[in-house]
């Protein structure tokens, strides 16, 4: 086999490992609330989430993958070494944060790493700054949108619950609680679908960009060979299978952080957080925006928490999480820049 083809296949395998680590870290986002409220056991919850991660492969298109594959770095800058450096840096930072129980944005680790490697290769002109700017805006907006929607849904749901209790005297708070336990199955499915839809496509975009950078392999990247326009099905299915597998195995330290340390969730709050976060991510995915699922669901959980009582949210935990978010882009970019420099000097 051609050494270049072998090298590319190794990078594809590493990309799928990154996708697996994405699911492993972000399993918490999909199941933290449903586990915290004891609607499902941890193992059943991750199986439920993994199923909907995979279902997202069908019928939703690949707009986020197109953004990552074509919209971050100028054509001609991407090569095998750049993708390798990107993946190594993103995986290392994800593993470090997962081991410490920090629900970082795996997405932004990937974007930061790709940007850092691209700058080393082609300078600042190598980046498509309009896309970088849009992503930067949603680094700030996505948790705020999640917080506002989570808060609004929680307030509206509490009002509706009070009205139902008054209108139907036979319904007890425990009865309403049981209703929301069932509804959480729906909200967890919505969130897991959005997670698979947005995050798996980021790895698709990386693999697509890699294959398109090697003239001999462009036919592997699309439907219908070199003249195709849609990302090949083997890329779509393998990326969704990898992220679903990572979700199934799960990262339980991060589940504890989001499900217990931020705020003490009840089924009603879990339903509102998951639905609010999921709807936000689905909407942004439609427009091809690679939003952080971690940022969005964490914001939604905080939004739910502040409706309960004064001190209902542990803001010190929020400070720890935000610190990890702030460090993600510069650390991953710097590490990827160093890795790319080393690879480009010592690997032919």
What is the pLDDT at residue 124?
Answer: 92
Q: How far apart are CA 141 and CA 23, in angstroms?
A: 23
Q: How far apart are CA 255 and CA 258, in angstroms?
A: 5
Q: How far apart are CA 164 and CA 311, in angstroms?
A: 28
Q: How far apart are CA 267 and CA 313, in angstroms?
A: 16
Question: Is 232:12 a contact under the CB 8 Å cutoff?
Answer: no
- Find the Cα–Cα–Cα–Cα dihedral 138, 23, 84, 343, rounded to 10°: 100
Q: What are phi and psi of 222, to 5 degrees?
A: -130, 160
Name beta bridge partners: 231. 222
* Positions in the chain short of pLDDT 70: 1, 25-30, 32-33, 36-37, 98, 101-104, 161-177, 224-229, 250-266, 308-321, 324
Range of the domain at 65: 3-346
What is the pLDDT at residue 126?
Answer: 93
Q: How far apart are CA 264 and CA 258, in angstroms?
A: 10
Name beta bridge partners: 73. 127
Residues near 128 by beta carbon (within 8 Å), at least 6 away in sequence? 71, 72, 73, 74
Helical pair 293-305 and 315-346, crossing angle rounded to 10 deg: 170
Total structural domains within the chain: 1
Q: Which long-range contacts (CB under 8 A, 24 or more apart) does 317-321 make?
A: 317/257, 317/261, 317/262, 318/262, 320/102, 321/102, 321/103, 321/257, 321/262
What is the pLDDT at residue 293?
Answer: 76
Neighbours of 229 (CB within 10 A): 7
Provide Rg for the chain, Cα atoms: 21
Paired tokens of 17: 């490992």
Helical pair 173-212 and 233-249, crossing angle rounded to 10 deg: 140
CB contact burial 159-178 (16+ within 10 A = b; e otherwise): eebeeeeeeeeeeeeeebee
Question: Is 60:288 a contact under the CB 8 Å cutoff?
Answer: no
Name beta bridge partners: 222. 231
């Amino acid at each position: 086999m051609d050494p270049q083809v072998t090298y590319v296949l190794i990078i594809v395998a590493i990309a799928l490992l990154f996708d697996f680590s994405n699911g492993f870290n972000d399993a918490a986002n999909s199941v933290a609330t449903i586990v915290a409220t004891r609607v499902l056991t941890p193992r059943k919850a991750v199986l439920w989430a993994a199923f909907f991660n995979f279902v997202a492969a069908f019928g939703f298109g690949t707009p986020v993958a197109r953004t990552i594959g074509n919209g971050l770095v100028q054509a001609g800058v991407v090569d095998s070494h750049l993708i390798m450096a990107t993946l190594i840096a993103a995986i290392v930072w994800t593993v470090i944060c997962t081991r410490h129980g920090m629900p970082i944005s795996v997405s932004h680790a990937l974007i930061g790493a790709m940007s850092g490697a691209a700058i080393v290769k082609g300078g600042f002109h190598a980046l498509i700054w309009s896309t970088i700017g849009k992503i930067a805006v949603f680094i700030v907006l996505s948790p705020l949108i999640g917080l506002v929607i989570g808060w609004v849904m929680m307030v509206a749901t509490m009002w509706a619950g009070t009205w139902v209790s008054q209108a139907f005297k036979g319904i007890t708070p425990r009865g309403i609680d049981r209703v929301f336990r069932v509804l959480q199955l729906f909200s967890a499915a919505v969130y897991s679908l959005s997670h698979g839809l947005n995050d798996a496509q980021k790895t698709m975009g990386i693999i697509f960009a890699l294959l398109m950078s090697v003239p001999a392999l462009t036919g592997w990247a699309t439907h219908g060979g070199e003249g195709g326009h849609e990302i090949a099905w083997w890329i779509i299915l393998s990326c969704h299978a990898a992220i679903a597998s990572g979700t199934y195995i799960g990262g339980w330290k991060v589940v504890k952080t989001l499900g217990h340390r931020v705020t003490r969730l009840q089924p009603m709050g879990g339903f509102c957080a998951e639905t609010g976060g999921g709807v936000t991510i689905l909407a942004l995915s439609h427009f091809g925006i690679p939003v952080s699922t971690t940022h969005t669901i964490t914001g939604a959980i905080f939004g739910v928490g502040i409706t309960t009582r004064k001190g209902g949210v542990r803001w010190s935990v929020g400070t720890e999480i935000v610190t990890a978010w702030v460090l993600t882009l510069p650390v991953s970019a710097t590490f990827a820049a160093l890795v790319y420099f080393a690879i480009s000097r010592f690997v032919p």
